[in-house]
Amino acid sequence: MSNDLSKKVSLITGGCGLLGQEHCKALLEKGAIVYSGDIKLLKSDRFHDEKNYKQVYLDVTSEKSIKSILNKILNQENRVDILINNAAIDSKVEKNSSIDFSRLENFSLSQWNREIEVGLTGAFLCSKVFGNYFAQNGGGVILNIASDLSVISPDQRLYLNDKNIEKKNQPVKPITYSVIKSALVGLTKYLSTYWLDGNVRANALSPGGVFIDQPSEFVERIEKLIPMGRMANINEYKAAIQFLCSDDSKYMTGQNVIMDGGRSVW
């Protein structure tokens, strides 16, 4: 079987979110045992029938929480092979009638810290704990989930949602998103060469935006920026996740795989 993951044990951070659930499904389909670690666990029974699926409370900002999940997985499975750093904060920036707090001029240090702590520090802490285990125990795979905005700047015209708002006050994609996603590429490269004797591979996957019934004006605008003329379907990253986590990609490390319908080429 290509992209075989049978008997591989994995942790997916933010595994209960929109794409995290797809990543869980991708690994389960290839035979992996999947631990989905999140601060918000699923109430639905989507994975009810999957004997190889377990969800666990994990806060990626806490080294203690990460270490306790590593120990839990080792107690139950005796091994772990794959870490997917996927957790992030979906930036919801407060707004009042006159000030948009997503804008750089108004972006607070506390909001900056909150987002960096999950998206970047969380990936660092999980890589530190799991990568070190991999290096001491025969190897493993780290996959960082970045974004097309790891290699291009956000086109802020996309986020103008009210024509009555002056351009200088319109909401924007916050600075933290670009900083976190670009930094994840640097983290990936660093990790890929750090444990040279430890057989630890690290790559990044940079997805473009997934279509989930966003407002039609937004979709029309973003489609014009994508050579393929559409946003991604939610299941279109599955094969890439399977490939990057399996031995089929065993000669690949330190790379940022960009799957964005060609958006970053234009």
The token pair that represents 191 in the structure block = 């990790």
Task: Residue 53: name the closest of 73, 76, 24, 75 by CA.
Answer: 24
The token pair that represents 128 in the structure block = 């530190």
Residue 118 interacts with ligand NAD (CB under 6 A): yes or no: yes
Tell me which of 3, 36, 86, 256 binds ligand NAD, using CB under 6 A: 86
The token pair that represents 88 in the structure block = 């992030």
Write the binding mask 177 to 216 for ligand NAD: x where contact by CB under 6 A, - elsewhere: ------------------------------x-xx------
Tell me which of 10, 35, 38, 140 binds ligand NAD, using CB under 6 A: 38
Tell me whether residue 165 or residue 239 sits nearer to ligand NAD (CB atom): 239
Phi/psi region, residue 46 (left: phi>0; alpha: psi -120 to 50; beta: rest), is alpha
Residues 13-32 that bind ligand NAD (CB under 6 A): 13-14, 16-20
Q: How far is the CB of 123 from ligand NAD (least distance, A)?
A: 9
Q: How far is the CB of 231 from ligand NAD (least distance, A)?
A: 8
Cα distances (angstroms) measured from residue 196 to each of 10, 157, 257: 21, 43, 21
Strand partners, 142: 83, 202
Residue tagged 């285990």 (tokens) = 133
Q: How far is the CB of 89 from ligand NAD (least distance, A)?
A: 6
Residue tagged 């919801």 (tokens) = 92
Give the C-alpha separation, 88 to 15, whole Å.
Answer: 10
Residue 147 interacts with ligand NAD (CB under 6 A): yes or no: yes
Residues in contact with ligand NAD by CB under 6 A are 13-14, 16-20, 38-40, 58-61, 86-90, 118, 122, 145, 147, 207, 209-210
